[in-house]
Amino acid sequence: MPITTYSLGLDFGSDSVRALLVNTSTGEEIATAVHYYIRWKEGKYCRPSKNQFRQHPSDYIAGVESTIRDIISQVGPKITKNIIGIGVDTTGSTPAPVDETGTPLALLKDFEDNPNAMFVLWKDHTGIREAKEINDLCKKWEVDYAQYEGGIYSSEWFWSKILHVSRHDKAVHEAAYSWVEHCDWIPFLLTGGTDVRDMKRSRCAAGHKALWHESFGGLPSNEFFATLDPLLDGLRDRLYEKTYTSDVSVGTLSPEWAKRLGLSESVVVSVGAFDAHMGAVGAKSEPYYLTKIMGTSTCDILVAPMEGDEKLVKGICGQVDGSVIPNMLGLEAGQSAFGDIYAWFERLLAWPIKEIIGTSSLIDEATKEKLVQEAMDRLIPDLSRAASKEPIGAAGELALDWMNGRRTPDANQNLKGVIAGINLGSTAPKVFRALVEASCFGAKKIVDRFLSEGIPIKGVVALGGVAKKSPFIMQMMADVLNMPIKVVASEQSCALGAAIFGAVAAKAYPDVPEAMEVMGSPFEIVYEPDNERVNAYSLVYEEYKALSDTMETHIMNQVRANG
């Protein structure tokens, strides 16, 4: 009888890393584990009011060891010895400065508490000015290097962050031999890499976030970067030209990491990629189906056959050959805040609960903790139930979903969230409903952009925390988009996609489509649009678009006035 083999997927999110063990023959999810980043949980190295979000590489290392060790303890030695591959996905763009050995500077004694020496998380927008300068230079340059990234470069991406840190921290700039994406560093770490020049760089990360394209011969020219800022002169030569799709093996576990994890040194580690792109693979993405990964933000992934001349789609997060499925074009869009909007509103409402209960002298500490936790657990579910009873458009409350800027269409991180139309009758459920409507309208703007650019959308597939937990939001999304939405059954679609790539790199399958068909997740529910609600939402959507235009003009006039 053939031996049953298994593959691990590591999914690095904004606040935790999750590991998933999958049977390569059936796609059965055998075991899972999660590790929450300790420093992140304590709020270290982040300044939300300044759009600064940094993560320490030590949190990632602890997460790898904790989750995989946990899984091994669950399944025992018989299964452990038959684990053949590991795939890795991360948030992105999340780069960090490294020395010549590929070691992030924050792991060195001189930089261990310096946020600029850490990984700059995807949602860090400290590089808004730098993104503008990149866009201005791209428009003037002989070659528009942003053309395959929607024509607009974002502060969420690789070069904006590198330039910002280089300008604001001389010590880090001088110590940084190169820069690496989180999704490239983890496989390099696990396989015992010691020279950053040997690091296999992700096609997904390079193409969507770093201005890499084969037609340019790789990255933009050194002359381009030196013109942007002399601080970048020479860095291109210390980066990369070649990139790899995630079905490619980086190597096998190093002796050190095999011992730390309790795995064989023969376990293959595949090239990393971004979480949303691997999530689409876990969801068995089909051509022209929009896969929505709905968490703190959203990433919308669409794959299309590489046929004829490639059409450039304006205002998205890039289109890259092989970024999702090798030999197919991957297109990415998304919203900079989605679940984060609801979490912000929850924190806003929770403040008096925590303060009043937490400072009460009439309640013991254990009871305080229990009461606060009960209130927090009920807040969003109860708000959702109350908001669902409000009419569409509530009583005139209208919001814009730009609490963390706008990713697509047409990236602009200067933009801010808006709540309009409030009056003395506005209630928490009414405002919450307006926020949910705004997040759904933001999603429709993305769909409208694809359609207006001639990219058909045959259907919508959803995965992630919001998709699994909120029927209220998902039904509204189906009504606003006027499309059925199929929700993926797996709780861990991104980690599942990573495990699929791990299996392919380990030669359990000849290619990703075959592995995806067997190992990918089925669907658990379909939300169908309701015609009556579709028509009602279309009227409010027109108001949303009008408010968007007005506020964008106002905000950008302020930005220009303030230099």
What is the Cα–Cα distance from 299 to 292, expressed in whole angstroms?
A: 6
For residue 494 the two structure tokens come to 């991104």
Q: Write out 143-187 in H/E/C secondary structure.
A: CCCCHHHCCCCCCCCHHHHHHHHHHHCHHHHHHCCEEEEHHHHHH
* Ramachandran region, residue 217 (left: φ > 0; alpha: ψ -120 to 50; beta: rest): left
- Tokens 């693979």, residue? 281
Q: How far apart are CA 554 and CA 563, in angstroms?
A: 14
Q: Identify the pLDDT of residue 296.
A: 86
Asked if residue 333 lies in contact with residue 293, where contact means CB atoms within 8 angstroms, the answer is no
Take residue 53 and report the two structure tokens written for it.
Answer: 């979000």
pLDDT at 311: 85
For residue 374, what pLDDT is reported? Answer: 86
Phi/psi for 150 (5° steps) reads 80, 0
Q: What is the pLDDT of residue 353?
A: 83
Query: E-strand spans in 25-118?
Result: 29-36, 54-55, 83-90, 95-98
User: Rounded CA gap, 465 and 148, in Å?
Assistant: 30
What confidence score (pLDDT) does residue 1 get? 63
Residue carrying structure tokens 């999810």: 29
Express the helix, strand and coil content of the chain in percent, nearest 5 each: 45, 20, 35
SS3 state at 128: helix
pLDDT given for residue 18 in this prediction: 97
Here the tokens at position 63 are: 């997460």
Whole-number Å distance between alpha carbons of 512 and 499: 11
> Which tokens is 230 given?
């002399």
Cβ atoms < 10 Å from Cβ of 48: 11
- In the block, tokens 């860090």 appear at 124
- Map residue 207 onto helix, strand or coil: helix
Length of the chain counted residue by residue: 563
Residues in the chain, pLDDT under 50:
none
Which amino acid is residue 193, in one-letter code? G
Contacts with 550 (C-beta within 8 Å, 6 or more apart), sequence order: none
User: Which phi-psi region, left, alpha or beta, contains residue 141 (left: φ > 0; alpha: ψ -120 to 50)?
Assistant: beta
